[in-house]
Each structure stands twice: as C-alpha cells, then as structure tokens.
A and B are shown apart, each in its own frame.
Chain A
Amino acid sequence: MSRTLKLAAVIGAITSLPIAPSVAAAENLRVVASFSIIADFAKNVGGDRVDIVTLVGPNGDAHVYEPKPADAATVGSADVVLVNGLQFEGFLQRLVEASATKAPIVELTKGGEVLRNTEEEGHHDQHKAAEGEGGHAAAAEEGHEEGHHHHGESDPHAWQSVHNAELYVKNIADAFCAADAAGCDTYRANAKSYGQQLEALEAEIKAAVAEIPEDKRTIITSHDAYKYFEHEYGIKFLAPEGVSTESEASASDVAALIKQIRQDKASAIFVENVTNPRLIEQIASETGLKVGGELYSDALSDKNGPAATYLEMMRHNITTIKGAILGS
C-alpha cells in the first residue's frame, strides 16, 4: 500500500529500553501512560493488577504538553512506560532523559501499519523555549538543540483506527507480561475480552458509515487527527491544521481550505476537544456550515463527559458525525 509503511522502518525518537525485571507478585505494576487513550487501554488490559498514572489527562493536548519535574519523578519510578510513538509525544525524549528511568518505554504503534504524514514540507519552528529575566543580571538560558518537537514522516494518530487499537492492546499485554510474568494469564485474558469489544465497535462504525451517502462523506475538523479513520472507514477529513496542533494554520491555509470545502461540498464541520474552537467557528461562518458538535481526537473526555473511554469516544464520534451529516 503506497500510503503506508511499516513502523519497523521508522526510527523513533525513543528506543525501547531493556525490559525491567518482573515485579514482586504482591505489588501492582506501576504503569505510566503518556495520554488518556493509552491509559484506558492499559486499564482494560491490566485490571486490578496495575496502577496507572496518566501524563496528559482528559481533554489534554499531548502535541503541546510541557512535562513537569513531577512527571519525570513519576516516570523514574515506573515499571512500564506506555507511549504512542511516531513522535506523537514531542516531550518524551527530554522527559525520559530527565527521569533516568530504567523502565521499558513501550511504543504501542510498533508493528502496525502507519500512514504517512501528508502535511506539506516546510515545518514551522514553533518551539517554545523559555527565557528568564529578573534582577539586573539575568541568568542565562541557552541552547537551540533542546525542546524541539519534530513531527516525523508518519501520522501518529493510529488509535483512530479500531484495527490499530487492537494492536495497542496486544502490545500492552506483551509489555505487562514481560514485566509481571505472574499476571500474564490475566493480562492475556483481559486483552482477549477487550479485543472482542473492539471488534464489535469496529462493526458498529462500519455499519454507521454505510448509512451515510458516499457523496456526503467529506467533513471538517480542526487538525489532521483522523486520517486513520478516513483510511479505514471511508470518511474524508479536511482540516486547517496539520497533524500537530503545535503549528497554527496560516491565513493562506485557511483560505485554501475554505476553497476546498466549497469544491468538495463538505457536509459538516466539527470542533475538537483538544483545540480552540475559534478557527472552526470562523470557517463555519464563512462557509455556511453549521458546527455539528465536538469530536474527540487526541484525548478522552473527563469521566462525566461523553467520551470517558476509548469505546465511548469512538461511538460518540461516529454518532456525532452521522447525526450532523444526515441532519444537514
């Protein structure tokens, strides 16, 4: 498939470390998940045998997350660190270095089919460095080589395909088994059970998409987070921002998108839970499209929201998309 490449060929920012020794059976596995969707997968696989700390929580944007010293301490004391990989967590390398952790850093996209990042070349340097001042002789804060968040040639939002979510779950089970052999049967059983729920979810999504006329399957979101969904289920997503929310869309990007929306006769437009809705509202105003609701892209909702788990998130998204298109 021309638009895919094997992840094995991609050199990630972080190389998985050697597997740590198995923990004592009486202790729960200390797991760090880089963001909320991975934490939900880990909870389903680990059950009561794991304690999970999530770095980028509900409605948080991992693209622009700034790790804290407390995060480094958390990673430093973890038994397993679960990450997406594909340079989704731009903060990861510096966080892992600061933590001096001996835990394995497990990239959950490993072994999957990965879509290329179709974002145009010419990456903007938007890194947010810090500078200091104060007193009459300010301290020096220097360097250029640190703090950068380079987005790779791969689209990191692989979880937007339920098929890929099954791979995440398998990789989590493998990692937990390696770290806690005594619990391996439990992890495998949990993964199998959750995998059945994922299969049912995928069938639901495909059935919902089938009800949407093919000429109405173009929609707008804030950033390019849904290319896996598009690839797997046949809904075309356009967005003013690229695969990362770190770089803001330029005026010419927005103008080009509005032109494309009119050409492609987009059916609906949606805000995302991790991005500012202003730009989408502006585009909606200029194109006459009505905002069809909020989609969850890179993070779950809080526990009281409509997307507190991965299963709920995917159901919410397809229900919202279908409702907006068919109601338009």
Chain B
Amino acid sequence: MRTNWASATAIALLLSLSTSAAHAEEVTAWRLFISDHADPKVTVIDAIDGEKLDTFEIKGPASLHRSESGRTVFAVQGSAGVVAGIASGISFEDHGEHGDIDVEAPKFAGVEITGNKPSHFVEHGGDFAVFFDGEGVARIISEKSVLEGKPDFMEVKTDAPQHGVAVAYGSHVLLSEPNREKPDELPVGIRVTDKAGAPIGGIHACPDLHGEASSGNILAFACATGLLVVSHGDGSPAVRHLPYADSLPDGKTTTLIGGRGLQYFLGNYGADKVVLIDPTIESDSFRLINLPTRRVHFAVDPVCAKFAYVITEDGQLHQLDVVKGEIANSLKLTGPYSMDGHWSDPRPRVAVAGDKIVVTDPLQGVLHLVDATSFEKTGDIAVEGKPFNIVSVGGSGQTHAGE
C-alpha cells in the first residue's frame, strides 16, 4: 500500500490565538473512495490535492457507502457475496465549542460480512444493516464493532429471499415484507420487529418497496403508492403512509436520498424527473422538477444545504435549488451516457467533498471537479480503469500538537 497520506491530506488554515490552544491548528481533510466498474478495487484519493493515497483490492466490483460519522466506508460486493469495511482514516471528536479531527492512513477495518447477494445497505443511529437478497436475511453490525475489527453482527430473518431492506431502528428493526404471491417482485411492505425478529403489530403496506433514506429524525421508504414515513413514536417507531399527490403524473419513486441541513427527501420520479418531498406538511408535500433528459444519478449537498445535484444522460450536471424547487444552474461535464441498456452499465456518479462536487466519468477514466460555489469546472483527476461509484469523507477540525 502507498502511504503518502501523511504529506497530502491536511491543510493548516489558521493558528489559534488563544494561549490555551496555542498549538491548535485548523485542518481540513477530504478523501474520495472510488470503486471500479470492472475491477475489484477501491481507490482512495486525497480530494484536496488530487493525489492517490491507496488502492484496496477487494473481491468483486462494489457499490460504496459511507457511514454518517465518515469513519467507515463499505464496499458492497454483490457478485462476490461480501461487504468489506474500510476505515477511512478521518475521524472527528466533538468538543462542543470546537471539533477535533484525526487523520490517519485508510485501512481495511478487518471485518467482512458475507452472504448471498448483499444488496441494500442502510445505516441508522450508528448501526449498519446489510440485506442479503439471496437469503432474505439482514445482518446488523455497529460501527464500533467494525472499527474494532470485531465481526459481532446479529441476524434478522424474513420469510423468504427478496430484494429487501432492513433498518436497525433503536431497539427495533424495520424489515421488508416479501411478496409471497410473486417472490421475484419487490417487497410489499414494512414490518416492525424487536431485535430478536419478533413482529410488533401488522404489516405497513408499501407495494413495490424500493428506496430508503433518512433526513434528520425522519426515515422514509419509497413505495408505488407514496412514502412510508417513520418517526419516533411512544415506545416503538411510528409509521404512516404519505400518498403521492393527485397532481403528480403516473410514476413512483424507487431511489430516495435525504437532505442534510434541511429536512427533505429527493427521489426519482419517472426517467426524466426528480421529486422534492417534505413529509412533514399535509399539502404540497411533493414538488416535481423536470429534467432536460433522463436522469443518471443524484446527490444532495451536505454543506450547502440549499443545493442538490443531478447528472443527466446528456452529460450535464444540474444544480437544484431545493428551496425554490428548480434547476439553478447546469454545466456540461461528460460525454453522453445513455440510460438505454443495463441499469448497471458504467455511468457517472456524483459526490460532494466540502466545496468540491466530484463526478465520475467511467468511460474517460477521470473524476471531474466542480467548484460548489461558482458551479464552474475546476479540473480533472485521472483514475485508472473505469471509476464508477464514489463517496467522500472529511471535513474540518482542530489538531493539537503533542496529542
């Protein structure tokens, strides 16, 4: 493994003037984790200077997920039947008036979760739930266990293999309910269970369940009929159904992401639209945004809460103003990537690393960098192979000399 991380990751921005913190430095560090469309590897790049930090050999092509804390990145290798945890090397400690940042080399965490066809990966409250479609089983593990290299996971079983999802929700688990009549089709609802898998109450109907996200203290599942909205109830999760507005055209959401800084959800809705959802209001919960061509991928901006980003098949990156509910800016970034063909063909993916929007361009073998403030392209980073899925971790914090 390369280990030039120490020289590349941090930029000291200012020195504290206080006597007690005379050796405190403000440090910013961001890392990009990129999987390859064809090769079983994860490349780690310093997002600040563009240098490659490391390459992790894994067992199959992977989709990537980062933990809420940013301390862990997971490579879900569906075809290889394994989920590998990678310690990002960047961690924070909140001290109230300031936060400390610790920057180390990224490394395998030493925990792999294996099973048949791992698919949906969901974190809630520091617990990760991986659903194994081929078994109809969810395996749940805490971030603490992963980072300590302890494979201390628990299993929760559903009745049948399914393209399902599970969420560890405090002392409960939310589990997808398989379609018993048509086992090859999407789940039909959500069941609340205790940690041992014992059902609590009935099934909350959610036909064609696919897509889950949380924003603030609300969790949502996407259904053919609307959203299932989950919040903290009195002793157990409170689940309610939010139907799609009558004003929406025919369609449904199958991919959902949650806003950060502002509480909202952003979902797909038809091939060339996205929908902004505020599940806390009774009317006008859904705002549809038309895109110029079919959508390839979308992401929210965690720092500038006002914006989300969508890349479309014509190679344009669109900046969505989620307050106004409209496209604020568009920028041609890649060549065309048709949405015809297989769903998993190599196409761009979007991530945000601080003030940079990063877009993978698999067929060109580069990452495109866009300044999040000016929304202008600022450069490219070459990556071997076909850079595909991408997540970023990082932020700013203080370091203290002598610690």
> Taking beta carbons and an 8 Å cutoff, which residues of A are in contact with B?
64, 66-73, 76, 94-95, 97-100, 121, 123-125, 127-148, 150-153, 276
Nearest Cβ distance between residue A102 and chain B, in whole angstroms?
15
> When the two chains form their complex, are residues B68 and A129 in contact, meaning their CB atoms are under 8 A apart?
yes
Using A98-B323, A144-B393 as known contacts, list a sample of 5 further A-B pairs with CB atoms less than 8 Å apart, ordered by residue number in A: A94-B305, A99-B323, A132-B300, A133-B65, A144-B70
> When the two chains form their complex, are residues A134 and B257 in contact, meaning their CB atoms are under 8 A apart?
yes
User: In the complex, A94 Cα to B123 Cα: how many Å?
Assistant: 24
> When the two chains form their complex, are residues A135 and B260 in contact, meaning their CB atoms are under 8 A apart?
no
Does B50 interact with chain A (Cβ within 8 Å)? no
Does B77 interact with chain A (Cβ within 8 Å)? no
> When the two chains form their complex, are residues B97 and A132 in contact, meaning their CB atoms are under 8 A apart?
no
Does B69 interact with chain A (Cβ within 8 Å)? yes
Please choose the segment from B7-15, B146-154, B193-201, B349-357 that sits at the chain A interface, where 4 or more of its residues have CB less than 8 A away: B349-357
The residue that B352 contacts in the complex, of A71, A143, A152, with Cβ under 8 A, is: A143
> When the two chains form their complex, are residues B216 and A134 in contact, meaning their CB atoms are under 8 A apart?
no
Which B residues lie within 8 Å of A125 (CB)? 92-94
> When the two chains form their complex, are residues B264 and A142 in contact, meaning their CB atoms are under 8 A apart?
no
> When the two chains form their complex, are residues B255 and A73 in contact, meaning their CB atoms are under 8 A apart?
no
> How many residues on the B side are at the interface (Cβ–Cβ under 8 A)?
81
> When the two chains form their complex, are residues A66 and B391 in contact, meaning their CB atoms are under 8 A apart?
no
Which B residues lie within 8 Å of A139 (CB)? 255, 257, 297-300, 349-350
* Contact flag A133-B66 (CB < 8 Å), given A66-B215, A144-B395: no
> When the two chains form their complex, are residues B323 and A145 in contact, meaning their CB atoms are under 8 A apart?
no
Nearest Cβ distance between residue A173 and chain B, in whole angstroms?
30
> Taking beta carbons and an 8 Å cutoff, which residues of B are in contact with A?
63-70, 78, 92-97, 99, 119-124, 165, 210-218, 222, 234, 254-264, 267, 276, 278, 280-281, 297-300, 302-306, 322-325, 343-344, 349-354, 388-397
> When the two chains form their complex, are residues A130 and B306 in contact, meaning their CB atoms are under 8 A apart?
no
Nearest Cβ distance between residue A168 and chain B, in whole angstroms?
25
The residue that A142 contacts in the complex, of B78, B305, B352, with Cβ under 8 A, is: B352
> When the two chains form their complex, are residues B70 and A133 in contact, meaning their CB atoms are under 8 A apart?
no
> When the two chains form their complex, are residues B303 and A145 in contact, meaning their CB atoms are under 8 A apart?
yes
Residue on A with the closest CB to B119? Answer: A136
> When the two chains form their complex, are residues A141 and B353 in contact, meaning their CB atoms are under 8 A apart?
no
The residue that B392 contacts in the complex, of A142, A147, A150, with Cβ under 8 A, is: A142
* Contact flag A98-B305 (CB < 8 Å), given A142-B70, A142-B394: yes
Which B residues lie within 8 Å of A148 (CB)? 94, 99
